[in-house]
Amino acid sequence: MSHEKTLKEQRDRFVAFSFAVADLFIEVAENGKIIHVSGASKALTGIDEKALLNRNWLDLFSTYEQSKLLKARDSNVPGRRIGPILVTLNEQIGQKIASFSAIRMPKNDRFYISLGVSNEFLARIAPLVGLPGTIGFTDRDGYADAARDAVFDAKLWGQDVELTFFDFVNADEMSRRFGKEGWGKVEQMIGEMMAQYSFGGHSAGLVAEGRYSFVHDKSVNIDEIKQKILDIAKTAGADVDLQAKTVTGDLKTLDKKDISRALDFAINEFENKGTQMKVSNLDEGYTQYLAANEMKLKEFKSIIERVSFTQFFQPVIDMKTKEATHYEILSRFESGDTREWIRFGEDAGLAPDFDLAVCERAINHIKFKAGGTRTKYAIDICGQSISDEGFFERLKELLGKQKGINDRLLFEITESTNIENLTQAGTFIKKLQKDGYKIGLDDFHPSAAAQQYLDAIKADFIKIDGRYIRRISSPRDAALIRNLVKMCQDSGIEVIAESVEEKMQADILLEMGVKYGQGNLYAPAGPKPDYVAKST
């Protein structure tokens, strides 16, 4: 081997390893055999370095992961990192969860892999966990959240991502031809493929009927993805009329709030106009958002002043007895999408005003409509409100005028794992608890950072984010939830699972020690708090 070649190999190894410092570094030859190992091989895999040599690299990973990782390697552009993503190691290694990053170097046929188990690292990427066997399209709201998470993490890691929108122009025709179930199977295959190429493996979703989108690394070849979609449809016998549009963006020029606004605007535009949408980059989307929402801001202020929203009630259930412990009060706007209105109110800085209006409405219900009962109710307070200096004083003044409701009114802090000032949040909660109110953390992520939040914010209960409950059949997500439940049990914190849709989910949760559930398995939100226990 020449001196020049030796130096090149050492340089490539150094650059690749520096690209993603980890517990274990693996170099793979073009034939898939491991030719170099450095790091904590025995601790991470149970196999020493010498024994790993000449083994196929895919053998280290769960059978669920292998096809995804092979596709990632084969599509990798030299010099462009894959990951970081969470992966599950081979079942014989004990299904350990590790962070996976990889890279090819230019003019080099070798594949460099780094594996790590850093808690801080896993905390960052836990929300982007992909699902073995169930990857595919998320629904409209789920995609908006997943896209936002993916773009935020790309900004954090300094990676370039884009959104590409696909419009199945003749989706109605295909649905009639194949039937809803048959066309749904075709869409599921397309969704699984798109998810494989999406950033983090979990940011492909349904925006509207026949309209889909995914967040992806800038290096992804959209023409190839489009052809793969057409090939899948053709194999199934579907003649798809497909249009595509990519929205770019320099994430360095926008902060997280502006990115959120631009994403919402772009997704809404696509939902309504398909690929005829005018937005072509996120900066432009943010500008159009500001122009389009001047009138919307006035309308939202009017909604608050007139208390022009209705209340729906969804029970929280003791999953053993099937009895309701309390009801969550959910706001519904008379026009438009409630979720988008609430997010808009947060972006516009009007969340504290809206939360106070919701609280006043809930108090009126407790006193005048449910005064003859001892039924308990929970309402939401967003993270922005608890960061507002004047909000607590206004809330305390409102609550101070009431008597005997502190044991009937509960508060849930929404988007709790996005709270930046944990000390401020903890102080806010302590003040309400001192007056006898129970406080919970809503939309809680079972990530490695969970203990930090639980230590800083002494909540009475948490509600596990429904995205994790829907993915509970995944070994990785089940492990994350189980660890969170154990933390809460050790701290004396009650756990509620939201979005419980299937009996299988309830059974797993009960086995884990989760006592309370909320979701359509028991009852959807309705205009009255009239839940009657039923057999499930």
The region of weakest confidence among 14-18, 138-142, 320-324, 400-404 is 14-18
Per cent of the chain over pLDDT 90 is 25
Can you tell me whether residue 318 is helix, strand or coil? strand
CATH 3.30.450.20 fits 3-126, yes or no: yes
In the beta sheet, which residues pair with residue 413? 381, 441
Q: Going by C-beta distance under 8 Å and a sequence separation of 6 or more, which residues neighbour residue 187?
A: 137
Contact 162, 248 (CB under 8 A): yes
Can you tell me whether residue 349 is helix, strand or coil? coil
Q: Report which of residues 430 and 265 the model is more confident about.
A: 430
CATH class of 297-518: alpha beta
| Number of C-beta neighbours around residue 246 at 10 A | 16
pLDDT at 134: 37
- Residue listed under structure tokens 């006898």: 436
Pick the CATH number of 131-292 from 3.20.20.10, 1.10.150.120, 3.30.70.270, 3.40.50.261: 3.30.70.270
Q: State the average pLDDT for the chain.
A: 81
Q: For 236-272, what is each residue's pLDDT tens digit? A: 888 888 999 999 877 777 777 778 878 888 888 888 8
Q: What tokens does 177 get?
A: 């031809």
Of these ranges, 1-5, 41-45, 194-198, 437-441, the one predicted with the greatest mean pLDDT is: 437-441
Can you tell me whether residue 298 is helix, strand or coil? helix
In angstroms, rounded to a whole number, what is the distance separating the alpha carbons of residues 254 and 246? 18
In angstroms, rounded to a whole number, what is the distance separating the alpha carbons of residues 196 and 148? 18
Domain map (residue ranges) of the chain: 3-126, 131-292, 297-518
In angstroms, rounded to a whole number, what is the distance separating the alpha carbons of residues 528 and 330? 11
Q: Going by C-beta distance under 8 Å and a sequence separation of 6 or more, which residues neighbour residue 485?
A: 495, 512, 513, 514
| Number of C-beta neighbours around residue 215 at 10 A | 28
| The overall pTM is greater than 0.75 | no
Backbone conformation region of residue 6, classed left if phi is above 0, alpha if psi is from -120 to 50, else beta: alpha
Q: For 182-203, what is each residue's pLDDT tens digit? A: 888 888 888 878 887 887 667 8
pLDDT at 126: 39
What is the sign, positive or negative, of the torsion defined by CA atoms of 331, 332, 335, 337? Answer: positive
Same fold, 3-126 and 131-292: no
Q: Going by C-beta distance under 8 Å and a sequence separation of 6 or more, which residues neighbour residue 227?
A: none
pLDDT at 517: 96
